[in-house]
Structure 1
Amino acid sequence: MTLAGYDHLLAAGRRLQWDDAAVDLRADAAAWPALDPALAARVTALVAGFCVAEVAVAAHLHPFGPAAGNPSAAACFALQAQDERRHARFFARAAAEVLGIDPDTGARAFAAPGVLALFETDLPALADRLAAGDAALPEAVGLYHLVLEGIVFAIGQEALLDTLTVAGVLPGVRDGLARVQGDERWHVGLGVMCLQDAGGTAEAGDVATLAARAAAAWGPDVATPERVERALAVHARRLTVLARAGAAAR
Structure 2
Amino acid sequence: MTQNWHQNMNENVTEELIPSLDKSTDEVAWDLYRKAIRFGTWDPAAIDLTQDKVDFESLDEDLKGYLIHFCTGFLDAEENVALKFCPWIMLGSSTEQQAFLSTQLLDEFKHTEFFLRYFKEVLGRERIPGVKNIVQQKLDERVKKMLAALEQSEEEREAVLVEGLTHYQGIIEGVQAMSGYDVFEAVFGSKGLFPGLKEGFSRIKEDEGRHVGFGLRMLKLFARNPEHAKRIRALYDEYLPHILVRYDQPVIVDGREYPTPPEVKGRERLIKMFERRLKDIFGTPVSV
Task: Confirm or deny a common fold (TM above 0.5).
Answer: yes
Matches for 1:122-141 after TM superposition, within 5 Å: 122-133=138-149, 136-141=160-165
Q: What is the aligned counterpart of 1:80 among 104, 124, 127?
A: 104
Instruction: Give the whole-Å Cα distance in 1 for the aligned partners of 2:241 and 2:200.
Output: 27
Aligned equivalent of 1:9, options 12, 32, 36? 32
Give CA-to-partner distance per residue, 1:208-230, whole Å, 9 cap, x none. Answer: 21352244132244453431242
Structure 1 portions without partners, runs of 5+: 243-250
1:19-98 matched pairs, under 5 angstroms: 19-98=43-122
Structure 1 residues 232 and 122: alpha-carbon distance in aligned structure 2, compared to 1, 3 A threshold: same
- The residue correspondences of 1:172-191 to structure 2 (distance < 5 A) are 172-191=196-215
Match of 2:17 in 1: none
Task: Give 3-state SS (helix, strand or coil) of 1:107's partner.
Answer: coil
**1:207 has 2:235 as partner:** yes
**1:226 aligned residue:** 268
* Equivalent in the alignment of 1:245: none
Q: 2:123 aligned to 99, 122, 125, which one?
A: 99
Q: Let me know the Cα RMSD of the aligned residues.
A: 2.1
CA contact (8 A) 1:155 1:223 kept: no
TM-score, with normalisation over the residues of structure 1? 0.85
**Following the alignment from structure 2 to structure 1, what is the Cα–Cα distance between the partners of residues 143 and 65?**
32
The code of the aligned residue for 2:277 comes to H
- 8 Å CA contact retained: 1:67, 1:137: yes
Cα shift at 1:3: 6.4
223-232 or 183-192, larger mean C-alpha shift: 223-232
CA contact under 8 A between 2:44 and 2:110: conserved in structure 1?
yes
* Deviation of the 1:67 alpha carbon: 1.0
Give structure 2 stretches of 5+ with no counterpart. Answer: 1-19, 153-158, 249-259
Q: With the length of structure 2 as denominator, give the TM-score of the two structures.
A: 0.75
CA shift at 1:199, angstroms?
5.1
Tell me by how many angstroms 1:131 deviates.
0.8
- The alignment covers a number of residue pairs equal to 234
Question: Mean alpha-carbon deviation: is it higher for 154-163 or for 82-91?
Answer: 154-163
1:71 Cα shift?
1.0
- The one-letter amino acid of 2:238's match is L
The structure 2 residue matched to 1:118, chosen from 124, 132, 135, is 135
